[in-house]
Every structure is written in structure tokens, then in C-alpha cells.
């Protein structure tokens, strides 16, 4: 266990020392209930602020690891005043059989875009739904590529000298274990962590996503543009679309887009998750970067250590231990509240002064 010996306790102390002193943890605000759809865990919430209220759309897990999307409303950044007793969204097709996971929400013009991972028990694709009132949502379907690992590997190899060979990790694993052609034909590359920017770029939508292990960006005018031919060209030139690579010690495994980017005068503030491989297993941290306003592929600054580490009991013990997984934010005056899944079991909140965070990002550089 992570907490079970002196060496692990030393690591605990190390991460507490590593964390920035301007980060304040507020603890857990939402836990599982006896309701059948969320009796195993509630975590990884999408968050959007309207007036003095924060609306959370969270991953609700029932026995057997089946996920739906639950809802609650906060008065201010921390106080729960309303909570739905039934899911807001639940599986409606075979691609969502095992669940709708890890939602994020962004408002573009007058429309809310709720993105999530559609999981059928084997494959994971990025999908989204839209709403005008935060009450009813219209599914728009999957918007990430559908490639077998062999197809993906063939495309990636044309660009492999410019990207990490970790992009072939799962293909190599399949080959090593000699999986049957039937199995390989029905297993597709996972594409997760779809997060929309809250504005268009020259008339085009933009979203971040994660083809393991880096964070990439997609620009498109209409969802119909995201054809197979589009994705063939995109993956063939994947290095052109990478926003963040695994470049720091706390990102040794992989990274993924976390909260929707926040527009500031200094750039796009991105809170993302970073997975670190350690002797005690994989640890998930929250991290931060600052991206150029006009060209978000350009990094202005990136923290050289994690923003939030799993140091508290509610982050270290759970269905998946040692996890801080940020998925939503809300800004109250100059205090940025970060909502995150803790140990894949509960929802917790931390906050930072946004000006202090941006100052640290600009000082850190690339």
C-alpha cells in the first residue's frame, strides 16, 4: 500500500514539500450515495459557473463499473444546494454500453458543449452533447478517430521520428502477446479527454484530446468535417497537432487535457492531469500550462512541478488510489476553484489565486 511503510511516508512528505504554497485544498464536497446509479463512486466532474452558482456534471459509477452522468448545483464554490437523484445522461447505444465517463463542459456563444468518453467495455471514444439550458442535452455522437491499432501504427510510423515511441505502446503490447486478428480488428485506439475551447479560432471550433501519451488539438468548422480522411491526414502528421508532450518528471507515464482552457490576458490557462510512474505505482497529479492566445500550440509557460499532488487521505485511498484528476474550474473574483476526482471515488476542490498561478507560469517558461 502507498501508506504502508517508511519509504512511502517519505514520498508523502516529498510531495507535500513539492506542492506550491499558494494552493489551498478545501477537501471533499461530494461522495457516493445509496442511489443505485452512484453507489460505487462520484468523481471527475464537469463544472461551469452561472452567476453565483456552479453546476457540476459528474461521473457517477454503480456496482460493476458502469458509469452515467450525475448532476448537482453549488451555491458559491463549495456548498451543495441541489442534487439530482437520477442521472442526467445515461447509455443509449452500444458504444456507451459500459458508460459515459469523465465529462467536461464549455460554453461557446450561447450553447453548452458537454464532452465525455463513450466506453463500450473495450473501446473508448470522445463524444459530446449540447444544451441551451443545462437541463436537457442532445447527443451529437463520437468525434474522435476510429482506427484499429494496426491502422494507427501504420500511420504513426510515418511521423515517428518527431513523436514519442510511446504512441505505439499499446500496439506493441498487442503484438507481444500475439492477440488474434479477430481481437485486434475489434479493438480500437483509445482517444480520451476531449475538452472544447470556449471560443472559436477564425471561425473554427477547437478541442484538446489525448492519443496516448500526449495532448493534441483539433480545429474544425463542422463535425461533418471530421471524416476518416481527415483523421488519416491528422494522425499521419500528429507531431503538428501536439500541444503538450511528457517532458517533466511528474509526467513520466502520460498526460491528458483536464479542465476547459481559461482565457486570460496572458494566454490560455490549462489545468491538466499528469501521470507519474513511481516505485509505489502510478500517481495522478494536477498540472498547469499557459498557451498562446492566438496559437494555442505555442507554450508560454509550464510548471516544473505538479500544481496539486495526492497527499491527503481522500486522494490516496479509493477505488484507484493516489489520484488527483482535474476536470472543471470556476472563478470567483481572483480565486480559481479547481474541481477534481479524488482516488476515483469522490469529488474534492482546491483553489489558487489565478494571478499568482499565471505569474508562476510566466516565470517558469518552457
64 has which bridge partners? none
Of 101, 30, 71, which is closest to residue 345 (Cα–Cα)? 30
Higher pLDDT, 164 or 299: 299
3-state secondary structure of 131: strand
Burial of 328 (0-12, 13-18, 19+ CB in 10 A): buried
Label residue 228 by pLDDT band (50, 70, 90): very high
Compute, in degrees rounded to 10, the torsion defined by CA atoms 68, 69, 71, 74: 130
Which residues, including other chains, have CB under 8 Å from residue 73's CB and lie 6 or more apart? 53, 54, 55, 56, 80, 81, 82, 83
Read off the pLDDT of each residue in 143-169 and give the average, rounded to a whole number: 88
pLDDT at 77: 98
Q: Tell me, what DSSP letter sits at residue 343?
A: T
- Kindly give, in sequence order, each residue whose CB lies less than 8 Å from that of residue 165, ignoring residues fewer than 6 positions away: none
Radius of gyration for the alpha carbons in the chain, expressed in angstroms and rounded: 19
Longest dimension (CA), the chain: 56
Instruction: Over range 329-344, report the average pLDDT.
Output: 98
pTM given for the model: 0.94
pLDDT band at residue 281 using 50, 70 and 90 as cut-offs: confident
Alpha carbons within 13 angstroms on the beta-carbon side of residue 139 total: 16
The DSSP secondary structure of 157-185, one letter per residue, reads: GGGGGGS-GGGGHHHHHHHHTT--HHHHH
Share of the chain above pLDDT 90, in %: 81
Amino acid at each position: 500500500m502507498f501508506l504502508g511503510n517508511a519509504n512511502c511516508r517519505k514520498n508523502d512528505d516529498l510531495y507535500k514539500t513539492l506542492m506550491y504554497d499558494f494552493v489551498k485544498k478545501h477537501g471533499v464536497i461530494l461522495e457516493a450515495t445509496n442511489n443505485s446509479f452512484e453507489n460505487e463512486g462520484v468523481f471527475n466532474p464537469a463544472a461551469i459557473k452561472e452567476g453565483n452558482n456552479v453546476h457540476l456534471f459528474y461521473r457517477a459509477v454503480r456496482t460493476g463499473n458502469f458509469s452515467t452522468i450525475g448532476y448537482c448545483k453549488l451555491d458559491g464554490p463549495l456548498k451543495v444546494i441541489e442534487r439530482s437523484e437520477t442521472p442526467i445522461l445515461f447509455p443509449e447505444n452500444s458504444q456507451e454500453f459500459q458508460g459515459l465517463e469523465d465529462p467536461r463542459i464549455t460554453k461557446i456563444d450561447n450553447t453548452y458543449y458537454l464532452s465525455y468518453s463513450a466506453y463500450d467495455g473495450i473501446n473508448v471514444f470522445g463524444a459530446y452533447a449540447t444544451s441551451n439550458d443545462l437541463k436537457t442535452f442532445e447527443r451529437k455522437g463520437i468525434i474522435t478517430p476510429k482506427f484499429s491499432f494496426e491502422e494507427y501504427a501504420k500511420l504513426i510510423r510515418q511521423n515517428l521520428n518527431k513523436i514519442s515511441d510511446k504512441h505505439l505502446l499499446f500496439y506493441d503490447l498487442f503484438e507481444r502477446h500475439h492477440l488474434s486478428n479477430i481481437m485486434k480488428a475489434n479493438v480500437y485506439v483509445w482517444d480520451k479527454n476531449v475538452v472544447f475551447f470556449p471560443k472559436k479560432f477564425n471561425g473554427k471550433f477547437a478541442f484538446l484530446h489525448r492519443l496516448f501519451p500526449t495532448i493534441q488539438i483539433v480545429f474544425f468548422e463542422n463535425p461533418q468535417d471530421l471524416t476518416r480522411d481527415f483523421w488519416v491526414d491528422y494522425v499521419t502528421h500528429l507531431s503538428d497537432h501536439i500541444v503538450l508532450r511528457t517532458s517533466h518528471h511528474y509526467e513520466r507515464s502520460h498526460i491528458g487535457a483536464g479542465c476547459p482552457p481559461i482565457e486570460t490576458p496572458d494566454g490560455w490557462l490549462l489545468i491538466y492531469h499528469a501521470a507519474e510512474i513511481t516505485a509505489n505505482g502510478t500517481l495522478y497529479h494536477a498540472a498547469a500550462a499557459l498557451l498562446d492566445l492566438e496559437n494555442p500550440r505555442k507554450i508560454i509557460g509550464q510548471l516544473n512541478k505538479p500544481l496539486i499532488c495526492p497527499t491527503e487521505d481522500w486522494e490516496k485511498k479509493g477505488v484507484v488510489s493516489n489520484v488527483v484528476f482535474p476536470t472543471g474550474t470556476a472563478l470567483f473574483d481572483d480565486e480559481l476553484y479547481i474541481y477534481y476526482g479524488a482516488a476515483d471515488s469522490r469529488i474534492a476542490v482546491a483553489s489558487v489565486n489565478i494571478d499568482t498561478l499565471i505569474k508562476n507560469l510566466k516565470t517558469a517558461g518552457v
